[in-house]
Amino acid sequence: MSGRNHIVRTILKICAALAAWSAGGAQLSAALSQPVKITGGMVSGVAGKNASVSVFKGLAYAAPPVGDLRWRAPKPVIPWQGVRKADQFGNSCIQSVVKERKPWTFEFMVHNDVSEDCLYLNVWTAAKAASEKRPVYVFIHGGGNVEGSGAIQTYDGEGLAKKGIVVVTVNYRLGVFGFFAHPELTQESDIHASGNYALLDLIAVLHWVQDNIAAFGGDPSKVTIGGQSAGASNTHSMVASPLAKGLFRGAIAESGSSYGPGNARTLRDAEQAGLKFAAAKGAHSLADLRKMSWQDIFAPALDLPRFGPVVDGYVLPASPAEIFAQGKQNDVPTLTGGNLHDNNGSSPHPTITAAAFRQQAKQRYGDLADEFLKLYPADNDEQARLSYNASLQDTMRVSTYLWAMNRAKTAKTDVFVYMWDHALPGPDAATYGAFHTSEVPYVMNAIDRCVDRTLTAADYKIADTLSTYWANFIRTGSPNGKGLPHWPSEKEKPATSFEIGDKYQPIPVAGDAAKQAFLEKALKTVRPAGRGM
């Protein structure tokens, strides 16, 4: 009997130990205590796919910019009572919604409702207490400033959150709603400027982060901003803007750092474009425009310029390129680069003919065309196709390198430059290669959000490596860390990019020294090709 009691007591001890261990394990994996108090009221989030991560979706960072608030700087959040459930993404900003536009398939596109009421952000955190002070990454989506959203599934922040980063994705006004200038708007403004409402949205996001991110276990003194494509260009605008001074300490620009004057227009030119737009809409005043539905405002109008950032004397005292040249930027460590097939249009295997390639060279390079064609010959169609790819890839890398070198003239902080070369698996991988945006699910550690793609162990390994580089940079201002191939800064190893994806190694900026020298010369007078969306 005593033997049996001993066995029972032993079993009970084991069970108690297992229960204690289980409770401890549960505590280790438990997410942030809720609800959370933020500007406007209380919110509660939901568990991510991994229960250790809490997700807060659709958090308002400003009042809805509707009615009389259309084309005004963002206004304070409207307070609410009780606890708001933050389990659904907020509306995306006004844009055309399509299922896919290859090479951008479903997982790269917006699929929720669009509305002018769209100034929302989302937070992913694995912090268990507000006191943890984790580094913060604010990700700005791409889409040419005419589409995109913080709700796109490949921008999911859970993968980086599991690596200790508090991730914020954002919406900001797009197209005519985000960048419309007009003389009446300038006149009614306290700061006598108009046109940069999208950039003012992003500055409002950064202030929201300063005021609220500590509640999610983030450290407002350790904020890195970043984005891809238009998001990268908008990141540069934040680095250039005096209004963003002190609101972040690092910047990441994916496929959006190129040598040249940039896209910012003068306020006068933007106002003239605004008058032309109003006339095309049959509006005789700003009041008429504000009375129109967003559908009527958004409806296509012919022969109008694309809306974008404005040198308004307030958000942007000068173009970002000029501000960098003057050394007046927010000088922060920067990680930037591009993709192997960023500039290749629809395919790394183009169908261009030798005659068409030679004609493009003459149109693009003028008096330098013959020199270009000696370096990138087109004696036949197959050679033209190879030269087409090589010239685009070299131009992209040299342009990014020149941007980094131009930055170095006035910056004291480091810049780390990459070249992404891995093709995202899928039925079109051979067609599109390492296409524009394809690195994003890897650096966000979100490739499990990709659909209809046969991912391999190698893809998950690349995502783990890339997201670790990104997390290290967000944490310390350098991508380097234990167990990773060393990524040299431009100061450490000039005239190179760091290959990431299939390999991890410094590589020359261009195919050879002669090509680099030519492109450096040409890019001082010829604007680099665009990178699409």
What pLDDT, on the 0 to 100 scale, is given for residue 161?
98
What pLDDT, on the 0 to 100 scale, is given for residue 40?
97
**Are 197 and 249 members of one domain?**
yes
Residue 111 has φ and ψ, to the nearest 5°, of: -135, 0
**Are 310 and 404 members of one domain?**
no
What CATH number is given to the structural domain containing 229? 3.40.50.1820
Number of compact structural domains in the chain? 2
What pLDDT, on the 0 to 100 scale, is given for residue 164?
97
The residue segments making up the domain with residue 128 are 44-332
Number of H-type helices and E-type strands within the chain? 17, 16
The answer to the question of residue 59 being in a domain is yes
Q: The whole model's pTM is what? A: 0.91
**Are 291 and 400 members of one domain?**
no
**Are 312 and 351 members of one domain?**
no
DSSP secondary structure string for all residues of 249-277: SEEEEES---SS--SPEEHHHHHHHHHHH
Residue where a domain terminates, one of 308, 332, 356: 332
pLDDT per residue of the chain (533 residues) written in tens, 0 to 9? 444 444 434 443 433 333 333 333 333 345 787 899 999 999 999 999 999 999 999 999 999 999 999 999 999 999 999 999 999 999 999 999 999 999 999 999 999 999 999 999 999 999 999 999 999 999 999 999 999 999 999 999 999 999 999 999 999 999 999 999 999 999 999 999 999 999 999 999 999 999 999 999 999 999 999 999 999 999 999 999 999 999 999 999 999 888 766 567 999 999 999 999 999 999 999 999 999 999 999 998 766 678 999 999 999 999 999 999 999 999 999 999 999 988 765 456 678 899 999 999 999 999 999 999 999 999 999 999 999 989 988 998 899 999 999 999 999 999 999 999 999 998 889 889 999 999 999 999 999 999 889 999 999 999 999 999 999 999 999 999 999 999 999 999 998 999 999 999 999 998 889 999 999 999 887 654 444 33
Query: Which residue, 378, 376, 411, is CA-closest to 394?
Result: 376
Burial of 17 per CB tally in 10 Å (0-12, 13-18, 19+): exposed
Q: How far apart are CA 395 and CA 421, in angstroms?
A: 15
**Are 217 and 350 members of one domain?**
no
Residue where a domain terminates, one of 297, 316, 332: 332
Query: Which residue, 438, 370, 359, 361, is CA-closest to 395?
Result: 361
**Are 496 and 413 members of one domain?**
yes
CA dihedral 452, 458, 464, 466 (to 10 degrees): -90
Burial of 504 per CB tally in 10 Å (0-12, 13-18, 19+): middle
Residue where a domain terminates, one of 285, 317, 332: 332
**Are 388 and 286 members of one domain?**
no
**Are 320 and 348 members of one domain?**
no
**Are 376 and 238 members of one domain?**
no
**Are 377 and 470 members of one domain?**
yes
The answer to the question of residue 32 being in a domain is no
